[in-house]
Amino acid sequence: MDAPEEPLPPVIYTMENKPIVTCAGDQNLFTSIYPTLSQQLPREPMEWRRSYGRAPKMIHLESNFVQFKEELLPKEGNKALLTFPFLHIYWTECCDTEVYKATVKDDLTKWQNVLKAHSSVDWLIVVVENDAKKKNKTNILPRTSIVDKIRNDFCNKQSDRCVVLTDPLKDSSRTQESWNTFLTKLRTLLLMSFTKNLGKFEDDMRTLREKRTEPGWSFCEYFMVQEELAFVFEMLQQFEDALVQYDELDALFSQYVVNFGAGDGANWLTFFCQPVKSWNGLILRKPIDMEKRELIQRQEATLLDLRSYLFARQCTLLLFLQRPWEVAQRALELLHSCVQELKLLEVSVPPGALDCWVFLSCLEVLQRIEGCCDRAQMDSNIAHTVGLWSYATEKLKALGYLCGLVSEKGPDSEDLNRTVDLLAGLGAERPETANTAQSPYKKLKEALSSVEAFEKHYLDLSHATIEMYTSIGRIRSAKFVGKDLAEFYMRKKSPQKAESYLQGALKNYLAEGWALPITHTQKQLAECQKHLGQIENYLQTSSLLAGDHHLTEEERTYFCQEILNFASQHTDSPGHKVVLPMHSFAHLRDLRFTPANAVVHVGGILSVEITVCSQMPIPVRVEQITISVHFSVEKNSYRKTAEWLTKHKTSNGIISFPAETLPFPASQNSLPALELYEMFERSPSDNSLNTTGIICKNVHMLLRRQESGAALDSPSGVALEDGPHVLQCGDVTLAPGANTVTFRTQAKEPGTYTLRQLCASAGPVCFVLPHLYPLAQYDVYSQEPQLHVEPLADSLLAGIPQKVKFTVTTGHYTVKNGDSLQLSNVEAMPVLCHAENRAVIYSNAREKASEASLRVQSSDKVTSISLPAVPAYHVIEFELEVLSLPSAPATAGESSALGVTEAQRKHKDTPKAGHCMATTDHKVSIECPWSIYSTVIALTFSMPFRTTHALLSSGTRKYIQVCVQNLSDLDFRLSDSALADVGGSADLQLRPLNLESQQHICSRQSVFFVWELTWTREPPPPLHARFSVGFRPASQERLTVSLKPYTYEFQVENFFTLYNVRAEILPPAGMELCRTGALCALEVAITRLSDLLEVDRDEALTESDEHFSTKLMYEVVDNSSNWAVCGKSSGVISMPVVPQATHRVHMEVMPLFAGYLPLPDIRLFKYLPHHSAHSSQLDADSWIENDSLSVDKHVDDQLDSSSIKSRGSVHSAASSEHKGLPMPRLQALPPGQVFNSSAGMQILVIPSKDDHVLEVSVT
């Protein structure tokens, strides 16, 4: 109630501001009601509907009730809203018409007039009724009358402007009700007033804002106006709306600054461009910084002042809104934008002043936030504040550098002056913070006061920042601050502290592959290490830097020179070596072996050519480049033979290394590529697809821990390998870019050599590439000399010259002039010597080296081939012609008749074996100059021909047929065929029936020759004949060597015809021709042609009187089932051994088919009875019958009906099986002894007339 006494200047402490409501009329009454009223009014919220579509809000109204005074009413043009009375209430307790008329009405009228004069329409008349009072007075007018009167008098149309409040001080339901009505009315009216007045104010404000392009417009004035609105909102506890007002102001100002920067300057803005003189930071502890406000009001504020004030207000409101984190965020933005704006407006700021301001502001904001939050909240919201921390750190650092507090020597006088100036700009410490020990002001002052204090503060801040960053997981940011800290330490000359920070940052950058930060950090690190005297590390870092393309040429050269200097200085101390990784220095691009297959024989020269890309900016002279080699003896000796190696290594000898092993292996780069393979799994039962998938073959590479990979980069991982095997190359100058270095070595021991390490050394500095990957290795082998002899074609043919290839693999043996191969001659296989033989010499890699002539000398026993002089590990190849003589005694042909039969039988039994050629093996022993043992080589020759002979008879005339079958793939020309009797008996003559002297025999064809055999003496002696035929390959017209003819010897015995068998079939009696189904007569006449001969003298011969007779068995066989033999088909006859003695046999046969049918075969055997007296002929006959039948069947199986010989032999074999049994034996007659004169005869059979099926049973 005392506030209204002095309305101006209002001490504005926001929370205490309430909308003003004036009270006129009965002051006593109001005083009595006031406590209840002020208590009741804010109790219930009221909905405030707002203009401009703003969302309605529920607000709790509070009011400051003041006594009505005319001065309180705003004058025209006064924009102050805070002091604006929003509602005027007239209180009256009058219940008496008289009184009303006398005083109240006048008073009311006066009040109304005053209000009208100020065009205020927000008023309310409250009539308080008091029952107690009413009761005292008897002459009471009806209660309503006063109210009605008032309503009549004053509230022309707005009857709601008059309210009755009944018994306000009593506690009755009626009172309560009337209170409620009153309060509702009051609130409604208040809000109406707000809406109206604020709307008007806002309109005015907007109008003012629209005028901003006018020249005289002042931002400060407008600022004050809009701030007024903000104050009102704040007063109404609408902090959100208040904040909006400030944000609008902020945005407006920012826009102006931006426009100014774009050249569109407003006049008023130049005012803000005055030089900054004070930089005392934000003041957030007071709700309103009246100092600054006044400055703004007086239009004397600087940009910083304005910004500070604005932010302080925003900060206050945000804190009211419980949004401290937004404060932090906005603070950072504000600080950044202020700095930018000052730059943009080209405001002159003393150096360091802004830093001070920012630093102070940061700390102020932080402390303000800390002040209103508890510890836990702070910790969970570090993310918001950490930016301020780091900004403060940064600024303090800048100040430190500026004031010379970071250098080793401490600040000089200039620095001190600057410090003093800066401190002066801070002004005096503000009273609010004077008592707190940790105020930003004090901190800054202390920090700037001395080097030590600065260090302490800076370290505190930095560590705090790093800790915060780390705790929220912003490792990268933490490393960045750490780098700053390292820089600081470097300035303070304490590199050991800096190093850990640098290493930490570097590790982080390396892990993520950031090239530029790496370079920068490494540069710092190099300096640090130099100071620390960590020579090895320094050199390593230098080498990295020298090869870093992100640095300038000079810098790289500098670092390179550093290494070289070190190298040249420390040459005198040989024991110490500095081992550095190679990858920074140079990059191994490829490696090339010569010979390309990387295989050399012992003593051979191997050269390894490597291409190294030097990454140094200048040429570097390297004293030595070595490759250490791991030697391993391989167990598998086969691997080292020349053939294997030449076959299996097809590479071109170049091994390329992965393009760039980056000095900073980014995590994804260092990983090997995925090796994926398809995988199918089928079920074993039905081969259906069970599973399919992709298999990653190098999981172990991909999934291994990252650390172990990174450890490779550390210098400790590089160890110099000292092996006994080293490739060396001395004094090489590596120019920048690609260089080629060639190593030469002479292979010593056989085995596999794996290249392990590449090391380039200059003085004590060694650059080592610890592993060569992909694996590069070369093989050294040693080989025994070898000789191979193999035919040129698939198989060697006997009888004609064949080429044989000799391959001499010299191995470690050097063939000298005069060395020769000594071939022991085999008579049957002479080596054909040509005038000129050429040998081709190859190197072991199958490259043709040279050609040399070969001398072949043959003597009786040996053929010596003198080899040309050839160095070791070469191959000599030459061809020789050899001839296998066909007439080699052991093999040339079957000489015995038995042999012939055997061969024929074999041939007949297995007709498919026709391709089998008779083979001959010749063994040649060769003496090689390198060995005391002779090598034995077997050559297999095949006979190109097979010959068979046959004896043909015509009556008593005999012919010899010789069949020559060509088994080879070649065509031959046969000539000069001859058959000679070598038995030497003059009784036999052979008359050739061959017309052509020369015959062509194609591959796999046969040629037949026939001679007629005549004799002069009967019986003729056995023939022992030799067939010979000259042959040569048809393709070769002329041959240099005369070839031996092909010969074939055989023997023919007992070819003299003894018996003539004649068979005849006669049609049945009374018929002209035979008919099917009709029995015909078969007449067989067996005639003896000669006297008793030697051949007849055997067991079958029986002598009676002077007659000799022999027992023969005949047999009628029809294999083609043309005939059915009725009755006995065989029988034994006794044949008198007398010329022209004839035995006739009559049989009945029945033709089964119609047509010309050949006659059944009649076979004749010699019947040798068993030496038993009891054997009767009948018995024997029955025996024979059985036997013959069994024989018959047997023959049938053999599918050959024409061969009597074969039959006989089988039979004899069969009978020999029956040896010891009391049974007769059958013996075949030799082929020449029986002549079947009816062979080949046919007889016409006509079909029978009746068509009925003929059933014949043959017994």
Partner 1 sequence: MVHTSLDVVDEKISAMGKALVDQRELYLGLLYPTEDYKVYGYVTNSKVKFVMVVDSSNPALRDNEIRSMFRKLHNSYTDVMCNPFYNPGDRIQSRAFDSMVTSMMIQVC
- Which tokens belong to 60? 């709790």
Among 208, 258, 464, 1078, binds partner 1 (CB under 8 A): 258
Give the position of tokens 């093996």.
921
Pick the stretch among 92-100, 332-340, 564-572, 1249-1257 that binds partner 1 (CB under 8 A): 332-340
512 near partner 1, rule: CB under 8 A: yes
Q: Which long-range contacts (CB under 8 A, 24 or more apart) does 734-738 make?
A: 734/586, 734/612, 734/614, 734/616, 734/619, 734/620, 734/621, 734/622, 734/760, 735/614, 735/619, 736/614, 736/615, 736/616, 736/617, 736/618, 736/619, 737/613, 737/614, 738/589, 738/611, 738/612, 738/613, 738/614
Chain positions 1052 to 1071 lying near partner 1, rule: CB under 8 A, are none
Which CB sits closer to partner 1, 436 or 669? Answer: 669
Residue nearer to partner 1 on the CB measure, 289 or 341: 341
List the one residue from 219, 480, 488, 566 that touches partner 1 (CB under 8 A).
480
Nearest residue (CB) to partner 1, 514 versus 842: 514
Cβ at position 509, least distance to partner 1 in Å: 7
Stretch that binds partner 1, among 506-514, 640-648, 960-968, 1004-1012 (CB under 8 A): 506-514
CA dist., res. 1025 & res. 393, Å (int): 127
By beta-carbon proximity to partner 1, the closer residue of 474 and 583 is 474
> Does 751 sit near partner 1 (CB under 8 A)?
no
How far apart CA 503 and CA 486 sit, in angstroms, is: 10
Q: Bridge partners of 925?
A: 936
Euclidean distance between CA atoms 817 and 840, whole angstroms: 16
Distances (CA, A) of 332 to 323, 355, 373, 439, 481: 15, 13, 19, 19, 17
Shortest distance (Å) from residue 223 CB to partner 1: 22
Q: Buried b vs exposed e over 149-162: b needs ≥16 C-beta within 10 Å?
A: bbbebbbeeeeebb
Q: Considering only the stretches 337-345, 755-763, 939-947, 974-982, report the one whose residues sit in contact with partner 1 under the rule CB under 8 A.
A: 337-345
* Interface stretch with partner 1, choices 99-107, 211-219, 336-344, 414-422 (CB under 8 A): 336-344
CB of 383 to partner 1, least distance (A): 7
Q: Which of residues 523 and 601 has its CB atom nearest to partner 1 in the complex?
A: 523
CB nearer to partner 1: give 472 or 833. 472
Residue 514 engages partner 1 in binding (rule: CB under 8 A): yes
Instruction: Report, in Å, the least distance between residue 370 CB and partner 1.
Output: 22
> Is-contact 1243 1220, C-beta < 8 A?
no
Q: 1066 in helix, strand or coil?
A: strand
| C-alpha closest to that of 448 among 482, 407, 415 | 415
Question: Among candidates 1000, 1054, 977, which has minimal Cα distance to 1234?
Answer: 1054
Which parts of 259-318 interact with partner 1 (CB under 8 A)? 261-262
Cα 937 to Cα 219, 788, 806, 869, 934: the distances in Å are: 119, 9, 11, 24, 9
Q: How far apart (Å, rounded) are the C-alpha atoms in residues 1201 and 1159?
A: 13
Q: Is residue 344 near partner 1 by the rule CB under 8 A?
A: yes
Report the nearest approach of partner 1 to the CB of residue 402 (Å): 15
- The tokens for 484 are 């700053």
Query: Which one, 504 or 1022, has the nearer CB to partner 1?
Result: 504
Encoded tokens for 108: 């009311």
Compute the distance between CA of residue 759 and CA of residue 720 in angstroms, rounded to an integer. 8
List the one residue from 164, 423, 475, 618 that touches partner 1 (CB under 8 A). 475
* Least separation in angstroms between CB 217 and partner 1: 22
Of 99, 290, 295, 339, the one binding partner 1 by CB under 8 A: 339
Nearer to partner 1, 391 or 1027 (CB): 391
| Planar angle of CA 963, 964, 967, nearest 5 degrees | 135
Among 35, 371, 410, 473, binds partner 1 (CB under 8 A): 473
With CB under 8 A as the contact rule, which of the stretches 97-105, 474-482, 818-826, 871-879 interacts with partner 1?
A: 474-482
Site for partner 1 in 213-252 (CB under 8 A): none
Contacts of 1239 (CB under 8 A, 6+ apart): none
| Contact window for partner 1 (CB under 8 A) among 27-35, 430-438, 471-479, 1213-1221 | 471-479
Report the nearest approach of partner 1 to the CB of residue 477 (Å): 5
Give the range of 467-475, 942-950, 1057-1065, 1097-1105 binding partner 1 by CB under 8 A. 467-475
Q: Is 875 helix (H, G, I), strand (E, B) or coil?
A: strand
The region of 451-459, 466-474, 643-651, 1005-1013 touching partner 1 under the rule CB under 8 A is 466-474
**286 token code pair:** 């007071």
Stretch in the footprint of partner 1 (CB under 8 A) among 54-62, 165-173, 511-519, 766-774: 511-519
Question: How many positions of this chain bind partner 1 (CB under 8 A)?
Answer: 25
Residue found under tokens 């004397």: 300
Q: Is 325 in the site for partner 1 (CB under 8 A)?
A: no
Should residue 343 be labelled a site residue for partner 1 when binding is judged by CB under 8 A?
A: yes
886: left (phi > 0), else alpha (psi -120 to 50), else beta? Answer: alpha
Please choose, from the candidates 778, 652, 656, 651, the residue with its C-alpha nearest in 3D space to the C-alpha of residue 725. Answer: 778
Nearer to partner 1 among residue 343 and residue 1107 (C-beta): 343
**Contact between 509 and partner 1 (CB under 8 A)?**
yes
Residues 211, 336, 748, 1194: which binds partner 1 (CB under 8 A)?
336
Of the candidate spans 111-119, 329-337, 1061-1069, 1172-1180, the one that interacts with partner 1 by CB under 8 A turns out to be: 329-337
Identified binder of partner 1 from the candidate list 333, 432, 909, 976, rule CB under 8 A:
333
In the structure encoding, which two tokens stand for residue 58, read together? 């529920």
CB closer to partner 1, 188 vs 259: 259
**With binding defined as CB under 8 A, does residue 669 bind partner 1?**
yes
Query: Do 790 and 804 contact (CB within 8 A), yes or no?
Result: yes
Is 668 an interacting residue with respect to partner 1 (CB under 8 A)? yes
Q: Select from 347, 382, 383, 1085 the one that contacts partner 1 (CB under 8 A).
A: 383
CB of 676 to partner 1, least distance (A): 15
* CA atoms of 296 and 16, how far apart (whole Å): 23
Pairing of strands 934-942, 796-797: parallel
Minimum CB separation of residue 588 from partner 1 in Å reads 22
Distance in angstroms between the alpha carbons of the first and the last residue of the chain: 162
Residue span binding partner 1 (CB under 8 A) among the ranges 281-289, 339-347, 614-622, 1080-1088: 339-347
User: What is the phi/psi pair of residue 940, to 5°?
Assistant: -110, 125
Distance (Å, whole) CA 200 – CA 323 = 31
Q: Which CB atom, from 258 or from 1081, has the smaller least distance to partner 1?
A: 258
332 lies in the binding site for partner 1 (CB under 8 A): yes
Least distance CB 378 / partner 1 (angstroms) = 18
Burial-class residue 1059 by CB neighbours within 10 Å (0-12, 13-18, 19+).
Answer: buried
Using the contact rule CB under 8 A, the part of the chain among 508-516, 1183-1191, 1197-1205, 1246-1254 near partner 1 is: 508-516
How far CA 296 is from CA of 9, 204, 224, 272, in Å, comes to 17, 20, 8, 10
Integer angstrom CA distances of residue 442 from 50, 277, 356, 428, 430: 48, 19, 12, 10, 11
For the CB of residue 462, give the shortest distance to partner 1 in the complex, in Å. Answer: 15
Query: Collapsing DSSP states into helix, strand and coil, what is residue 169?
Result: coil
| Nearest residue (CB) to partner 1, 328 versus 591 | 328
Binding site for partner 1 (CB under 8 A): 258, 261-262, 332-333, 336, 339-340, 343-344, 383, 469, 472-477, 480, 509, 512, 514, 517, 668-669
